[in-house]
Amino acid sequence: MEKGNVLVIGNSGVGKSTLINSVLGEDCAVTGYGITGTTRELSIYENDRIPFRIIDTVGFEPSYRKAAKAVRSVRKWSRDSAKDGKEDTRISVIWCCVEGTSRKLFPDTIKVMAKAVSMWPSVPVIAVITKSYSVPERRENIMMVHDAFLTHKRLSGSLKRIIPVVAMTYRLNDDAYAPPEGVTELIDATNDLLPEGIRSSERDIFKYKLDRKRVFAHGSVALATAGAAVVGAVPVPFPDAAILTPLEVAEINTISRIYGIARDDSLVRFVDSIVEAGTVSMTARAAVAALKSIPGISAAASVVNAFIAGSIVAAIGESSVRAFEQVYSGGRSVYDLEWVKRLTEGSLSDSFVAKVGKALRAIDGIQDPRRLSAIILDLFFK
């Protein structure tokens, strides 16, 4: 069975490392106050008796600004865990540690924790109230933590349990001690949440990768759009969108590579369908004709052509990104030629003509193809 990972975060000195040692039943993580006992880098611990690994982190400084470095180290760990071969470092449960003796939870504390784990929006969170030495204060502390998490939209959705713990016997005075408590409850709660957490982790990683791919894909659409604005600006009036075929083929192939779609005959047919719908189809021809015949446009013909060409390539690129996203996610396949044809033609329909036509009327005086393509990209990606 897959062993999940618990990420332990919280302000410096709240007792994260002490808690980890108590859970593992051995002193592996360094603990203490001041310079020597503080945790300086992320470390992962495990033993045979516990079905999850535990990641100790660098404690946050209480202020949002000062916490930046420690936050970055958690985010970097999360990003790295998205890579192939790093599956066993992904986060499946988060312990957000707050100190029971501090009696106050500053909004910054919650904000910093949320920022550190923003890559894991669906991973379950357990709020651990460390140093819960005072039994009478526990109820009140649980309410306080509950309310503080409620103020944060993202974390309030992920919060599954609030558990007060004493990780190590604490000497209250000469003859009174606070014994360890809550540690086995925390282990049980974590075990219960692990299967769900491992699934959530996979979902979050998938979404993260999809977001990254979308950013890269939009980058290649931007390049192709700029290229199209240059190609379109030639003084010869282009008869139809077919002049853009090579550009569109290159653009769509790049997007398919970003989504890691297998390069075979079915992909070629899929790309052909998009290009056909985006160049020589009735819809594409009608869109070009409608835009070229808009009355009252004062811009030079070459600028109008450049703008139309760029807009078509941007629209086709945007709909291709959506198409390949669905293929990558498994909702559609490269055999769905009718579907992708409709999707592509849909991106050049009346609303495309209306949107581009309106922008065309406003570009008076702008000649630079780079500025034109920037306006176009705003139109399609804002």
Ligand X SMILES: Nc1nc2c(ncn2[C@@H]2O[C@H](COP(=O)(O)OP(=O)(O)OP(=O)(O)O)[C@@H](O)[C@H]2O)c(=O)[nH]1
List residues near Mg ion by CB under 5 A. Answer: 16-17, 39
- How many residues contact ligand X, by CB under 6 A? 20
Find the shortest distance in angstroms from Cβ 63 to ligand X: 15
Of 107-115, 163-171, 232-240, 361-369, the segment contacting ligand X by CB under 6 A is: 163-171
From the list 4, 9, 13, 274, which residue makes contact with ligand X (rule: CB under 6 A)?
13
Find the shortest distance in angstroms from Cβ 163 to ligand X: 13
**Contact criterion met (CB below 8 Å) for 167 and 132:** no
Q: Is 31 in the site for ligand X (CB under 6 A)?
A: yes
CA distances for 332 relative to 274, 278, 299, 325, angstroms: 15, 20, 42, 9
Helices within 57-121 (DSSP H only): 68-80, 107-116
Of 27-35, 85-93, 311-319, 329-337, the segment contacting ligand X by CB under 6 A is: 27-35
Residue of 357, 367, 364 whose CA lies nearest to 233: 367
Residue whose CB is less far from Mg ion, 16 or 218: 16
Query: Using CA of residue 27, residue 33, residue 36, residue 40, what is the dihedral sign?
Result: positive
In the list Mg ion, ligand X, none, the entry touching 320 (Cβ below 5 to 8 angstroms by class) is: none
From the list 5, 6, 52, 59, which residue makes contact with ligand X (rule: CB under 6 A)?
59
Task: State the DSSP code for 281.
Answer: S
CA distances for 341 relative to 182, 262, 282, 344, 364, angstroms: 59, 20, 12, 5, 34
Find the shortest distance in angstroms from Cβ 15 to ligand X: 3
Q: Is 12 in the site for ligand X (CB under 6 A)?
A: yes
Q: Is 78 in the site for ligand X (CB under 6 A)?
A: no
Find the shortest distance in angstroms from Cβ 108 to ligand X: 16
Find the shortest distance in angstroms from Cβ 130 to ligand X: 5
Q: Is 145 in the site for ligand X (CB under 6 A)?
A: no
54 in helix, strand or coil?
strand
d(CA 142, CA 12): 20
Residue of 356, 373, 82 whose CA lies nearest to 223: 373
Q: Is 130 in the site for ligand X (CB under 6 A)?
A: yes
Joined tokens for residue 109: 């504390």
Joined tokens for residue 115: 């920022």
From the list 37, 107, 157, 219, which residue makes contact with ligand X (rule: CB under 6 A)?
37
Interface positions with ligand X (CB under 6 A): 12-18, 31-33, 37-39, 59, 130-131, 166-168, 170
